[in-house]
Structure 1
Amino acid sequence: MRAVLMAGGSGTRLRPLTCDLPKPMVPILNRPIAEHIINLLKRHQITEVIATLHYLPDVLRDYFQDGSDFGVQMTYAVEEDQPLGTAGCVKNIAELLDETFLVISGDSITDFDLTAAIEFHKQKQSKATLILTRVPNPIEFGVVITDEEGKIKRFLEKPSTSEIFSDTVNTGIYILEPEALDYLPDNTESDFSKDLFPLLLAKNEPMYGYIAQGYWCDVGHLDAYREAQYDALDRKVKLDFAYEEISPGIWIGQNTFVDTTAHIETPTIIGDNCRIGARVQIEAGTVIGDNVTVGADANLKRPIVWNGAFVGEEAHLSACVISRGSRVDRRAHVLEAAVVGSLSTVGEEAQISTGVRVWPSKKIESGAILNINLIWGNTAQRNLFGQRGVQGLANIDITPEFAVRLGSAYGSTLKPGSKVTVSRDQRNISRMVTRSLIAGLMSVGVDIQNLDATAIPIARTVIPTMSVAGGIHVRVHPDRPDYTLIEFMDAKGINISKAQEKKIEAGWFHTRREKTRAS
């Protein structure tokens, strides 16, 4: 049996960890997520793996090569021009899938019994079987309802709170028959949850949901990334450890020196070729990669430290992530949920505050206190969208340059030749922002219907009558007169979904990366 490993994601919500890594190559317990997935497949006698790649494909391909070092046979399919979506990329390799096959997402940690799921699929003579699991809060996932026999009756992708009708969610692991792909067009972007599965449901094809027992974590954002590490250390999920367990709950790699005065709590993992200095305090839940140096008297409270990092004397790391090759100098503090991107330097006695992200190759000067994200040399919000659209201080956060890029990011999510409305209140700042948004939209081939100064209720009312893909409205924030609020609406005049917001954010971060490369 063959497996398709979907490994093309760019992982925008995991930035800055994924600025120079595809999401499946982000490490859990010092080994890429994709390696843990391959180990799972191997445990269930699935040794032929086809990886679909798009973002930074050479990273994964160079790591696994032909797969022989990992006990599998690896082949690769690269989406060169544009991403084809979860289903489109599998349709693209349909000629390699001539019997029942398994599709698995490259960004999840799980120990599901795949053998039992495959047996269920064959017993039910299903065309497509979705492996499901129960979660406490399904709002970020695709919700699925099955009948008593396991046949799928209904599903909804990323519901709002009011739309939740089940706690069984789609895990992104599917068992498919080759003929299921016949419903998909060639060389066209398509998605399993949005395109193929609703079509199979409409055609009354046999489609079942298998509710799996075991651990599953979608490593889709930084909080989930840290939690997956801690759960793996606590053995809540069955993963292979790359190092010897020298005592219960402590794994240490080869050629690693730990000073006799260092104090290590369990569970903790320390990689190969590390140096842990005198009187270092390492609390339970800490993950230290290969080739890491930790100076004397450093205090490590559950950080995740990647390969090649340096932690200076008396440094304090608290439940943060220190990426590959970064340096945290003497007496520096990196606080909870902060992330330091690869090859960055945190100077002596500097502080990275809670939740702050530092993009790769940045330098934080000695004694500095960083309270805002450092992204490509600029400061920015942690997320582009807030509770009600994009908001920020007029002419400080929301500048003409910002609005141009936002317009082009939104336009890039629409089909070529689409038309959108743009409207605003009567303030001069709103007029400036709308003109910049229009410039950005037109730069990616979107046609504009400019409603000028129009109240937002009127804009919402007329949008459904105008055959447009959506609309943007700019106004002074109703609760903060110094803030500008930019709201995005769909073709019905309703605020766009969270999934559409994520697409715009992906386009936004892509344009920032391309701008930096050009400079």
Structure 2
Amino acid sequence: MRDTPGSVMLFAAGFGTRMGALTADRPKPLIEVAGKPLIDHALALIEGYGATRIVANLHYKPDMLEQHLAGTGVLFSHETPDILETGGGLRAALPLLGEGPHFTMNTDAVWRGPNPLTHLARLWHPGQMDALLLCVPPAQAVGHKGGGDFVLGDAGRITRGPGLIYTGVQIIKPDLLHEIEDRVFSLNMVWDKMLSQGRLFGAEYPGHWCDVGHPGGIALAEDMLE
């Protein structure tokens, strides 16, 4: 297993139901913010980091994403007949991702500040970590409602609770994915195993992050980028 993550899993299979009519004719990653689709914002960050392999999982309107990403080198993990959720989706994509550890990245966020992948990679210590989750304080989370997901403790270990907000970017080793018997499952199940072993860590993002998972997030993201 590599020490430094060189591959990125882009989660792009969802229906985008919170976007309402905006996803009636396109998948959420193709909704535009500041003149370009959300997935292109993610790809720009990945290019800036220098990942060697990118995989996107597809389910809802996959042909549109395949056409948009043609020629980019992105590989596709088709989830049929059902969406596999984050854990099942990542496990299904492992043959395409190659040797771990891997980044995973949501495609419904926009960032202002340092490259989140580069920032996280500098803090990754595989000898003690099975996953490193990039989180942001509520004051730096634009358009996000809720009390937070994790509390950052000593030496960077995290526990569940109101505090920092998970941004959808992490570095994760794939080993524990194979211990889950379900075909469809959330990465939360894997994180719980890591929590029990003291191997789940978090890091704070120093810039701003905008959740564009709902229609109002588009204007908020564009204002943030300005």
**SS of corresponding position for 2:21:** coil
Counterpart of 2:60? 55
Offset, 1:200: 1.9
Q: Distance in 1 between matches of 2:70 and 2:121?
A: 27
Q: Distance in 2 between matches of 1:31 and 1:231?
A: 15
1:211 aligns with 2:204: yes
Offset, 1:81: 0.5
Letter in 2 for 1:150: G
Counterpart of 1:170? 166
Letter in 1 for 2:186: D
Q: Distance in 2 between matches of 1:52 and 1:150?
A: 30
The list of structure 1 runs, each at least 4 consecutive aligned residues, that deviate by more than 3 angstroms after superposition, is 136-142
Q: Distance in 2 between matches of 1:27 and 1:113?
A: 20
Offset, 1:13: 1.3
Q: Distance in 1 between matches of 2:147 and 2:79?
A: 25
Q: Distance in 2 between matches of 1:13 and 1:31?
A: 20
Larger Rg: 1
Q: Distance in 2 between matches of 1:60 and 1:86?
A: 18
CA pair 141-98 structure 1, distance change in 2 beyond 3 A? farther
The structure 2 residue matched to 1:221, chosen from 182, 206, 214, is 214
The structure 2 residue matched to 1:135, chosen from 119, 135, 138, is 138
Q: Distance in 1 between matches of 2:200 and 2:160?
A: 12
Offset, 1:56: 0.6
Is contact 1:10–1:55 with CA below 8 Å preserved after alignment?
yes
Q: Distance in 2 between matches of 1:229 and 1:207?
A: 33
1:197 aligns with 2:191: yes
Q: How many residues align?
A: 215
Is contact 1:94–1:181 with CA below 8 Å preserved after alignment?
no
Q: Distance in 2 between matches of 1:184 and 1:172?
A: 21
Letter in 1 for 2:62: P
Is contact 1:41–1:47 with CA below 8 Å preserved after alignment?
no
Letter in 2 for 1:216: W
Counterpart of 2:101? 100
CA pair 200-211 structure 1, distance change in 2 beyond 3 A? same
Is contact 1:101–1:175 with CA below 8 Å preserved after alignment?
yes
**SS of corresponding position for 2:71:** coil
Letter in 1 for 2:156: G
Structure 1 vs Structure 2 CA RMSD: 1.9
TM-score (norm 2): 0.88
Counterpart of 2:15? 10
Q: Distance in 1 between matches of 2:100 and 2:79?
A: 23
Letter in 2 for 1:7: A
Counterpart of 1:114? 117
Q: Distance in 2 between matches of 1:124 and 1:221?
A: 38
Higher relative contact order (CA 8 A, sep 6+): 2
Q: Distance in 1 between matches of 2:216 and 2:116?
A: 26
TM-score (norm 1): 0.40
CA pair 92-141 structure 1, distance change in 2 beyond 3 A? farther
Q: Distance in 1 between matches of 2:152 and 2:16?
A: 30
Offset, 1:26: 0.3
Q: Distance in 2 between matches of 1:142 and 1:185?
A: 29
Letter in 2 for 1:78: H
Is contact 1:101–1:177 with CA below 8 Å preserved after alignment?
yes
**SS of corresponding position for 2:56:** strand
Is contact 1:128–1:180 with CA below 8 Å preserved after alignment?
no
Listed one character per residue, the Cα deviations across residues 41-67 of structure 1 (whole Å, up to 9, x for unaligned) are: 111111421000111111111011131
Q: Distance in 2 between matches of 1:51 and 1:4?
A: 6
Is contact 2:91–2:174 with CA below 8 Å preserved after alignment?
no
Q: Distance in 1 between matches of 2:212 and 2:31?
A: 10
Listed one character per residue, the Cα deviations across residues 81-114 of structure 1 (whole Å, up to 9, x for unaligned) are: 0111111100112233312110000111124432
Is contact 1:117–1:131 with CA below 8 Å preserved after alignment?
yes
Is contact 1:129–1:207 with CA below 8 Å preserved after alignment?
yes
Q: Identify the structure with the greater helix proportion.
A: 2
Is contact 2:138–2:148 with CA below 8 Å preserved after alignment?
no
Where in structure 2 are there 5+ consecutive unaligned residues? 1-5
Counterpart of 2:3? none
Q: Distance in 2 between matches of 1:176 and 1:11?
A: 25
Q: Distance in 2 between matches of 1:148 and 1:40?
A: 29
**SS of corresponding position for 2:81:** coil
Offset, 1:135: 1.3
